[in-house]
Chains A and B, each alone.
Chain A
Amino acid sequence: MKVSISQDGPVTIVALEGKVDTDTCNDVETALLAEIGKGATRMVIDMAEVDYISSAGLRSVLIAGKKIKAVKGRVAFCNLRPLIFDVFDASGFTTILTVCGARDEAVAACRA
């Protein structure tokens, strides 16, 4: 699992790469919470290079989503592969999280 952080104006971009599962969920959670801890309230999580997510990974994503919601921030996901979208959808995440197509859309959703 690789986590790359960049900034687009006020929006923090977190690009994940690899599998988000029992082996990696703690690393993902730690990375996301670290950014929130540093004051990030607008966050785009780019899943373009994520080829797998299990319930352990969903847990990390939900924890981060709740944290950002608690500070009245915004988080948007983008570039979900079909299987990842499937898992998000089956878990009811597509109704509680903002899921966009391209990164531009997600950044715009966070700026709004």
Chain B
Amino acid sequence: MARKDSAVLHFDNDLANRQTLLDVVDAFCRRAGGDEQGVGRIRLALDELFTNIVSYAYDDDGSHRITVELLRSPAGMVTITLIDDGRAFNPLDQPPPDLDSDIEDRAIGGLGIHLVKTFTDSCDYSRDGDTNRLTITKGFGQARPGREKEGRAR
């Protein structure tokens, strides 16, 4: 069984840091017992969130710090929180995308947050002082949804 584990990472708001962040998260989730597909889903969720922050969160061109907190429970529940000091914005508030109309009418874009919601077990936003906090969870191993009902936050 995987031990409890945690890490705190800091990145500048630069898309050049995206791959490093995703590789670290990838390794962290694998240690939690994640398989190829589960780890890929969480990697995608983080990619969408980090890319959104870097691309849209800031009103200036300056350098900002984005903090990523990783936590793994002994059972394999991974909790990841992204903290940025961009303008107050809850990405989870946006309406769901249109997934039903024909290709001609389908909007281009707007799928990122939908994928985050689909591919995580839970996601929560809060505004804490001057920072946005976005937390996602995903169960691997024994904490995989459907395998263990107790001990889950929802």
Contacts and interface: CB of A to CB of B under 8 A. Distances in A.
Interface of A: 21-23, 52, 54-56, 58-59, 62-63, 65-66, 69-70, 82-83, 86-87, 90-92, 95-97
B37 A86 contact: yes
- At the interface, is chain A mostly helix, strand, loop or mixed? helix
- At the interface, is chain B mostly helix, strand, loop or mixed? helix
Contacts of B47: 21-22, 54
Interface of B: 15, 18-19, 36-37, 40-41, 43-44, 47-48, 51, 97-100, 102-104, 106, 108-109, 111-112, 114-115, 118-119
Contacts of B104: 66, 69-70
A39 to B, nearest CB: 20
Contacts of B109: 55, 59
Contact of A62 (B40, B98, B106): B106
Contact of B51 (A54, A69, A83, A91): A54
B40 A55 contact: no
23 contacts: A21-B47, A22-B15, A22-B51, A23-B15, A23-B19, A54-B48, A54-B115, A55-B48, A55-B115, A56-B51, A59-B109, A62-B103, A62-B108, A66-B108, A83-B41, A86-B37, A86-B41, A86-B119, A90-B115, A91-B111, A92-B106, A95-B99, A96-B106
The 9 A-B residue pairs with the shortest CB-CB distance in the complex, in nearest-first order: A92-B99, A55-B112, A83-B40, A96-B103, A55-B111, A90-B118, A91-B111, A54-B47, A82-B37
